[in-house]
Amino acid sequence: MSATFSYDALVAFSRSVFTAIGCPEEDAVLATEVLLSADLRGIDSHGIARLSGYVRLWDAQRVKAAPDVRILHETPSTATVDGDSGLGLVVAPKAMQIAIDKAKQCGSGWVSVQHSNHFGIAGYHALMALEHDMIGIAMTNASPLVAPTFSIERLLGTNPIAVAVPAGAEPPFVADLATTTAANGKLEILQRKNGVAPLGWIQDKEGRPVTDPHSLKAGGALLPLGGDREHGSHKGYALGAVVDILSAVLSGANYGPWVPPFPAYVPMPTGMPGKGIGHFFGAMRVDAFRPADEFKQHMDQWIRRFRSAKTAEGYDKVLIPGDPEREMEAVRRADGIPLLGPVVDDLRFLSEKFSIPMPPAADRSQI
Amino acid sequence: MSATFSYDALVAFSRSVFTAIGCPEEDAVLATEVLLSADLRGIDSHGIARLSGYVRLWDAQRVKAAPDVRILHETPSTATVDGDSGLGLVVAPKAMQIAIDKAKQCGSGWVSVQHSNHFGIAGYHALMALEHDMIGIAMTNASPLVAPTFSIERLLGTNPIAVAVPAGAEPPFVADLATTTAANGKLEILQRKNGVAPLGWIQDKEGRPVTDPHSLKAGGALLPLGGDREHGSHKGYALGAVVDILSAVLSGANYGPWVPPFPAYVPMPTGMPGKGIGHFFGAMRVDAFRPADEFKQHMDQWIRRFRSAKTAEGYDKVLIPGDPEREMEAVRRADGIPLLGPVVDDLRFLSEKFSIPMPPAADRSQI
């Protein structure tokens, strides 16, 4: 049965689970913060709903709880990091921190990561840059669900790109987008509802545009941003490809159809050309280009101009990337995080598996 | 009347024009190479068709023929460049060269440019990185034609992103994409033909999706990649916004609705917050991450896997970004560059204005 939980209750539970699989205390804290940032920001598909999935990867010995994350190769502004098969939730913020440290030293830092796993939401890692007055960039490849333009094979993941930009008085600009028309999480919602997907989201196994959300599991594919060639799907495909190349060809991870699957029951691809999945991070000090105060004043002006743009009939206002997620976070910190029945069942499975008490469900009055 | 010209004939003509407005010899050579790379690669809207437009900007004293392009601020891996109101065709490759030089020194180089003008195709500048075994990135903002999701105001340009990646035996991967559903050049073609634009390319002045390509000039707007909210236009908007911010807020150029127009007869916006238009360039040494040979072998594998993907019925093969432009370049170097009547008229105008002989039209047998 679905229920609502306070953020703190889910934090305590998630930390206990990560500790139970052998994560060092600080890694359990970090992985929990990254994981739950998705729930707070309303990206439910990437949050605690995946906790049992991570545990199953650990059960299948595809994830190490205490990895030796290390730099394989570096220059003053770049590094390649070996995630040692750790949780992406831990490997990614460590790699982003390396990018930030390099940016402090020489203006910018760029880190490509091999041998990692799913890293939660890209936005979390990009956001890490903001407190340092840096622009943060994060991307990752992911298991193949997306067919390139003209193809019927799934060769790319939803390969997201996140860019976080500090502002002054205004809240930051935070873009976090899958390079597909629709994120897989949105399709999963339609699958549960037996709903109808807009044309342009998916194709069937013959490559025909279809609206049945179950077509994806019947050999179909998600479509690159644009949907079809006439609407620019070759651009979404190119962007997803760039993410794949920077994350995996540059680092020595697996790319394209060889990216390992998230569900532990799915067999690994054969002939894998690299290690694990790949990420790519960037950090640029704003004052490596112009004084930070000046930059932030202009970002404020940028944000205000766009936010106050005239709208088409039926729309209240033009959104700044990051607005919806920030508003959701305020609501969920106050009112709690609602979880669907199957997610609650997953938490119960983990509770029993590790003898950890279930997080107490809360109604609004209790939070 | 339309006619076909050899590449060399157009090179000679273009150099003479740039020299006639006072460009130093080497800048005239460079500007010509950048400009004509668009014609060679089939992006006719950005090539010699714009030569008279650049001259008109010079006439209006909006472009300097002999600018003092200089670094305003730098760190080991970053720089801000002042284009001194020069031709973007000259400023941009000089700025990209700075990015490449920085990458040689410390792994990567990132350059934001203010006070520039239209820089031709983004792809040219990204491609400069390849001969150094670097990944090249180029982007620029542009005068506002694009409405953010939910808006009826034009606040962004078509703001392209180009990424060039070296391969080994295979030709390089070169993505070069406007962050709109359709580039403005494609719409111009439909306007000339009185054709019908697919839904998702443009909206009218009320923000309604329309198919009449003339709606753009009647107060409408181009749409961000995705077309509408349901198909991910907020992603195209976010990408266009990132380009605007990195190119202009970071450098001190104009952004959003304040980007100066390309046509010299259009008045400058009021209250401009910066100087000229902005670009952003990046170069990353491949061997700052892993040995270059290893990287290139894997890029070859990536390219071959995608190129040989199974296709949907009716399609021959899956394209690798850069394929169509490279194939076009081979054809046009051999067979010449076809120019439409109005473009030939523009060349005649320039020929008379500067007393430069018209380039000889060629039929295939003469090239």
Burial A89-118 (b: 16+ CB within 10 A, else e): bbbbbbbbbbbbebbeebbbbbbbbbbbbb
> Is B365's pLDDT higher than 80?
no
Mean pLDDT of B43-62: 96
* Encoded tokens for B295: 């990287």
Geometric angle at alpha carbon B67, from B66 and B72, rounded to 5°: 160
Residues of A within 8 A of B311 (CB-CB) are 150-152, 207
What's the rounded Cα separation, in Å, for the pair A292 and A135?
11
Q: Which of residues 104-143 of B touch A (CB under 8 A)?
A: 106-108, 110, 112, 135
Residues of A within 8 A of B207 (CB-CB) are 311-313, 315
* Whether the Cβ atoms of residue A15 and residue A8 lie closer than 8 Å to each other: no
Element (H, E) at B337: strand B337-339
Q: Taking CB atoms and an 8 Å limit, are B78 and A238 in contact across chains?
A: no
Residues of B within 8 A of A236 (CB-CB) are 225
Domains A1-66+336-367 and A69-181+223-293+320-325 belong to one CATH topology: no
* Whether the Cβ atoms of residue B106 and residue A76 lie closer than 8 Å to each other: yes
Please report, for residues B167, B193, B298, the alpha-carbon distance to residue A252 in angstroms, rounded to integers and kept in the order given: 15, 49, 9
Q: Is the pTM of this model over 0.90?
A: yes
Please report, for residues A16, A17, A158, A348, A352, the alpha-carbon distance to residue A355 in angstroms, rounded to integers and kept in the order given: 10, 10, 35, 10, 5
pLDDT digits (tens, 9 = 90+) for B66-123: 999 999 999 999 999 999 999 999 999 999 999 999 999 999 999 999 999 999 999 9
Q: Which of residues 326-345 of B touch A (CB under 8 A)?
A: none
* Whether the Cβ atoms of residue A105 and residue A20 lie closer than 8 Å to each other: no
Q: Which of residues 193-252 of A touch B (CB under 8 A)?
A: 198, 200-201, 203, 206-208, 225-227, 230-232, 234-239, 241-242, 244-246, 249-252
Strands B78-82 and B108-116 come out as parallel
pLDDT digits (tens, 9 = 90+) for B187-196: 888 888 889 9
Chains A, B: CB contacts within 8 A come to 266
pLDDT given for residue A192 in this prediction: 83
Residue (of A222, A277, A179, A92) closest to B236 by Cα position: A179
Phi, psi of A174 (to 5 degrees): -135, 100
Q: Taking CB atoms and an 8 Å limit, are B151 and A249 in contact across chains?
A: no
Is B203 in a helix, a strand, or coil?
strand
For residue A181, give the nearest of B226, B252, B310 by CB distance: B226
**Within chain A, which residues score under 70 in pLDDT?**
363-367
Q: What share of chain A is helix, strand, coil (3-state, %, to 5)?
A: 45, 20, 40
pLDDT given for residue B33 in this prediction: 98
> Is B348's pLDDT higher than 80?
yes
> Is B150's pLDDT higher than 80?
yes
| Alpha-carbon torsion angle B229, A239, A99, B96, nearest 10 | -120
Instruction: Search chain B and give the residue with CA nearest A204.
Output: B312
Q: Taking CB atoms and an 8 Å limit, are A302 and B245 in contact across chains?
A: yes
What's the rounded Cα separation, in Å, for the pair A63 and A52?
13
pLDDT given for residue B286 in this prediction: 98
For residue A155, give the nearest of B208, B309, B315 by CB distance: B309
Q: Taking CB atoms and an 8 Å limit, are B80 and A289 in contact across chains?
A: yes
Residues with Cβ < 8 Å from B314, sequence gap 6 or more?
none
Residues of B within 8 A of A101 (CB-CB) are none
DSSP string, B110-171: EEEEEEE---S-HHHHHHTTGGGTEEEEEEE--SS-BPPTTB-S--B----EEEEE--SSSP
Q: What are the boundaries of each domain within chain A?
A: 1-66+336-367, 69-181+223-293+320-325
Phi, psi of A193 (to 5 degrees): -85, -5
Instruction: Search chain A and give the residue with CA nearest B311.
Output: A151
Residues with Cβ < 8 Å from B342, sequence gap 6 or more?
none
Q: Taking CB atoms and an 8 Å limit, are A250 and B289 in contact across chains?
A: yes
E-strand ranges in A183-275 read 202-203, 209-210, 221-222
Does the domain at A69-181+223-293+320-325 match CATH 2.170.190.11? Answer given as: no
What's the rounded Cα separation, in Å, for the pair A162 and A39?
17
CATH for A1-66+336-367 is 1.10.1530.10
pLDDT given for residue B184 in this prediction: 85
Phi, psi of A241 (to 5 degrees): -65, -40
What's the rounded Cα separation, in Å, for the pair B177 and B121?
10
Instruction: Search chain A and give the residue with CA nearest B179.
Output: A235
Residue (of A130, A137, A179) closest to A326 by Cα position: A130
Residue B364's pLDDT band (boundaries 50, 70, 90)?
low
Residues of A within 8 A of B317 (CB-CB) are 150
What's the rounded Cα separation, in Å, for the pair B72 and A130?
24
* Encoded tokens for A300: 């404020």
Residue B1's pLDDT band (boundaries 50, 70, 90)?
confident
Is B210 in a helix, a strand, or coil?
strand
Q: Angle between the B25-40 and B7-20 helix axes, to the nearest 10 degrees?
A: 140
Residue B331's pLDDT band (boundaries 50, 70, 90)?
very high
Residues of A within 8 A of B198 (CB-CB) are 230-231
> Is B325's pLDDT higher than 90?
yes
pLDDT digits (tens, 9 = 90+) for B203-257: 999 999 999 999 999 999 999 999 999 999 999 999 999 999 999 999 999 999 9
